[in-house]
Amino acid sequence: MSESAALQVIANLLYAKTGQEVTESRRWRVPAALHGIFKELRIDSLEELARILQGTHSADLPGRIVDALLNNETYFFRDRNYFELLMQQILPAIAERRSATRRLRIWSAGCSTGQEPLSLAMLLLAEPERWRRWSIEIVATDVSAKAIRAAKAGAYSQFEIQRGISITEMLTHFAKHKTQWRAQDALRRMVRFQQANLLNGLPGEEPFDLVLCRNVLMYFAPEARERALARLHGALAPDGWLMLGAGETVLEQPRLLRAAGCGAGLYQPLLANERTGLGRLAAPV
Ligand SMILES: C[S@@+](CC[C@H](N)C(=O)[O-])C[C@H]1O[C@@H](n2cnc3c(N)ncnc32)[C@H](O)[C@@H]1O
């Protein structure tokens, strides 16, 4: 088997499990990302790995290869201006719209090791008066078993804790245990982590008021991005918001989602009459 055929075997696996594609510009990363697995299996080429993969009955090898290839880069309050927009406009708007039911549901899709949903939880805890007696659910999912294990542990290294978070936020919500900073119970209790593939259904049947899927779809193949956007749309309440990452768009689903008009990666579901092109665009917030 040639090196490029072996790379194709690995790329097909990644696509089948996550919807991500190995573009030309990301090919160089593959052997480097798989270095740990090479070492463990005592091999030193993609060809050998592809051969083992095709012949193996080891149930967890495909999952471990996929885990190694995923980019789990994240940090607390990544792109702060997005969180400021949530704090200043979107969460107050949701609080008003849901004042009768006092229920708030948020989904962090592609949450990696948990910094994004924990940042959201910190925003909510910062306004105890607004959210008093609300039922709040933050569901956080990721396809990576390794990332979800870390997220559930809720313990961060000194390097991780220093990225994005203020000293006050750190001391309020985390406690130091040896070399790690552990999220306090009040914070951890707000987020329910679960391993799930964005392309395989939704976490539960009830609609979400806010869905964050930031810095996830940019690695997807276009048709997988189209399917993922349809799922995200399906998860939203008709007046809910979807937040994507900087530079990510809903280009593949222009009939389902539209820019919310208040900047910073926010989108809203198109209503049925808007989809026919007859309706007016709703006012932003
Ligand atoms: C770069 S991280 C972004 C984390 C966080 N949203 C942020 O912006 O900081 C992308 C995450 O998406 C996850 N991911 C990739 N494909 C996925 C899929 N099909 N379903 C769920 N999560 C996926 C990866 O495992 C990774 O943890």
pLDDT band at residue 97 under the 50/70/90 scheme: very high
Cβ of 70 less than 6 Å from ligand 1: yes
Cβ of 203 less than 6 Å from ligand 1: no
pLDDT band at residue 6 under the 50/70/90 scheme: very high
Q: How far is CA 231 from CA 100, 104, 248, in A?
A: 27, 20, 16
Among the candidates 49, 69, 89, a domain finishes at 69
The CATH number of the domain holding residue 19 is 1.10.155
Nearest atom, ligand 1, residue 213 CA: 6
Which pLDDT score is estimated for 30? 95
252-273 tens-digit pLDDT: 888 899 999 887 799 999 977 7
Same domain, residue pair 64 and 110: no
Cβ of 34 less than 6 Å from ligand 1: no
Average pLDDT of 98-117?
Answer: 98
Which pLDDT score is estimated for 26? 87
The percentage of residues in the chain with a pLDDT greater than 70, rounded to a whole number, is 95
Average pLDDT of 19-33?
Answer: 92
Same domain, residue pair 34 and 147: no
Residue the block writes with tokens 């090479």: 38
**Domain-embedded: residue 142:** yes
- Residue 71 CA to ligand 1 center (angstroms) comes to 7
Which pLDDT score is estimated for 205? 84
Same domain, residue pair 148 and 31: no
Ligand 1 pocket test: pick from 142, 146, 149 the residue with the most ligand atoms within 8 Å of its Cβ.
142
- Residue 47 CA to ligand 1 center (angstroms) comes to 27
Which pLDDT score is estimated for 276? 63
pTM for the predicted model, two decimal places: 0.93
Same domain, residue pair 113 and 59: no
Cβ of 268 less than 6 Å from ligand 1: no
13: pLDDT strictly greater than 80: yes
169-214 tens-digit pLDDT: 999 999 999 999 999 999 999 999 999 999 998 888 899 999 999 9
Same domain, residue pair 33 and 166: no
| Full residue range of the structural domain in which residue 129 is found | 80-275
DSSP state, residue 1: -
Same domain, residue pair 142 and 208: yes
